[in-house]
Amino acid sequence: MSRLIECVPNFSEGRRQEVVDQICARIRSVPGVQLLDVEMDPSHNRAVVTMVGAPEAVAEAAFRAVQEAAQHIDMRRHKGAHPRIGATDVVPFVPVRGVTMAECVETARAVGARIGAELGIPVYLYEEAAARPERKNLADVRRGEYEGLAQEIAANPERAPDFGPAVLGPAGATAVGARAFLVAYNVYLGTADLEVANQIARAVRHLSGGLRYVKALGVAVDRPGQVQVSMNLTDYRRTPIHRVMALIRDIAAHHGVAVLESEIVGLTPAEALLDVARYELCLHHMTADQVLENRLQGGAEAAGLGAALPRDLLAQVSAGTAAPGGGTVSAVSGSLAAALTRMVANLTIGKKGYGAVEEEMRAAEAAVGRLQEELLDLAVRDSASFEAIMAAYRLPKSDDAERAARREAVQAATREAARVPLTTVERTVKVLEFLARIAAAGNVNALTDAYVAIGMAEAAVQGAAANVRVNVASLDDTALGAQFQAQIAALETQAGDLAAAIRGTIAARQGG
């Protein structure tokens, strides 16, 4: 199971498709990141983008998106119905699978620091990543919006950013945070009277005495005879969508106003919609297993080892295409070494005679689990990096400018294609470091599995190292190439020493 986080950056541009396309192109340029959804709202003058991937890849994609938005969006000219403080208004990170909220907080703070240092954009940390309790609520961070912040950021110490300069430029400021899933939910009313929407928003939002886990405001929209109640439902399990809609309908009826329609902005968990179905259709005993797609997925997961074998991967590797190839297989080999290392640890935990090392085994197993997921992500990134090189070679080269741009694109892709297998070797060496500790103290009956883990790790190191060297040979930057060569040589030596030491440990514990 790969480690996934979601990032849902909001950009202050909902009318110029070409600008949003350029931002999305920067997101897609990062291997291992999947762009799931893009929604533009001209009334709000805002775009909401949803991406998922490994934490490191999503962090890089988020930074590139902020960088691109800053080049095209001038907040001094921006007008829209939605509150905002910057070209990239908010960048929330959300744990999806195999990632804790604490890790998302760490990612948010690292990205925020980078935005402030490298782009010179003031950054405010919010929600779970907030460094100051008064900034946990995003509405407090956005108080006064761009125009108000421009007047206060330098003069009021309470508005000083967490990262970056206390100066507001054309790109404004960005709020970076970590949070749980929320549902962005809008309801359209059959009236042009914005005050009705404002009154309903006050009635439903928690801050003014309404429903818990609901944030709401009234918004004027570009629809004749309509206004909108725009909401964020921050915990759809405790305050479900149907409860919010029921209250809005009731209050709207009191004002003699019809609820025309509603919409979900971006993506939402299936569980949130299943709750609505249970309530509205009185399906009191309906379970998630009654959803066909859920049952199919569950059936595949329960089909045993035969279904788990990576036949699709083997078919892609053997197909005769250039990717996936040796670099991807090397990373997969490293992940198998990690899985076997975890196996030895798990066969030690709870076993008689190993109580003294149980805590150490638990900690090591968790750490190697993270390395295993990183190596699987590297398998995907390796294939994507090769495809990026091929795409760069296909760029036009009809004049000097195009040839120069093409060469730089090739070099950038080649640098990435060298870094990925280098990282594969680094992560695999760390697996060997943990394996050395586990083999020395773990269940003696599982040491054969540790022995196999050594071989898988050596294959990963040797294969990935070869991929580093072949890409380094194509780099124009000889200094960087020499740095890569030195790093890979040192790592190969370290891996060889660790493998030999672990084999010695296993032989000694097995009695020769």
Q: What is the pLDDT of residues 138-192, one digit of tens each?
A: 999 999 999 999 999 999 999 999 999 999 999 999 999 999 999 999 999 999 9
Domain at 183-283, CATH from 3.30.70.670, 3.40.640.10, 3.40.980.10, 2.40.30.110 = 3.30.70.670
**Alpha-carbon 461 to chain mean position:** 27
Write down the catalytic residue from 44, 78, 82, 377.
Answer: 82
**Tens-place pLDDT, residues 346-378:** 999 989 999 999 999 999 998 999 899 899 989
Question: Are 241 and 263 a contacting pair, CB within 8 Å?
Answer: no
Element spanning 41, H or E: strand 33-41
User: Quick check: 300 pLDDT over 70?
Assistant: no
Report pLDDT for 173: 98
Q: Where do the CATH 3.30.990.10 domains begin and end in the chain?
A: 4-178
CATH architecture, range 321-509: Up-down Bundle (1.20)
285 is catalytic: no
pLDDT of 31: 82
- Exposed/middle/buried for 1, CB within 10 Å: 0-12, 13-18, 19+? exposed
Residue found under tokens 């192109």 = 25
Straight-line distance from the first to the last Cα atom of the chain, in angstroms, rounded to the nearest whole number: 37
Residue spans in the chain of domains classed CATH 3.30.70.670: 183-283
What secondary structure does DSSP assign to 196-222, as a single string?
Answer: HHHHHHHHHSGGGTS-TTEEEEEEE-S
Starting from the edge strand earliest in sequence, which strands make up the sheet with 183-189, in order?
214-220, 227-233, 183-189, 259-265
Q: pLDDT digits over 415-472, tens only?
A: 999 999 999 999 999 999 999 999 999 999 999 999 999 999 999 999 999 999 999 9
4-178 falls under which CATH superfamily?
Formiminotransferase, N-terminal subdomain (3.30.990.10)
pLDDT tens, residue by residue, 188-225: 999 999 999 999 999 999 999 999 999 999 999 999 99
> How long is the chain?
512
pTM of the model: 0.58
140 is annotated as an active-site residue = no
Tell which residue, 457, 431, 437, has the closest CA to residue 502: 437
What is the pLDDT at residue 307? Answer: 64
Mean pLDDT of 368-391: 89
CA gap 21, 417 in Å, rounded: 25
Could you tell me the sign of the dihedral formed by the alpha carbons of 318, 324, 327, 328, in that order? negative
- Residue ranges, CATH 1.20.120.680, the chain: 321-509
Given a cut of 60, whether residue 295 has pLDDT beyond it is yes
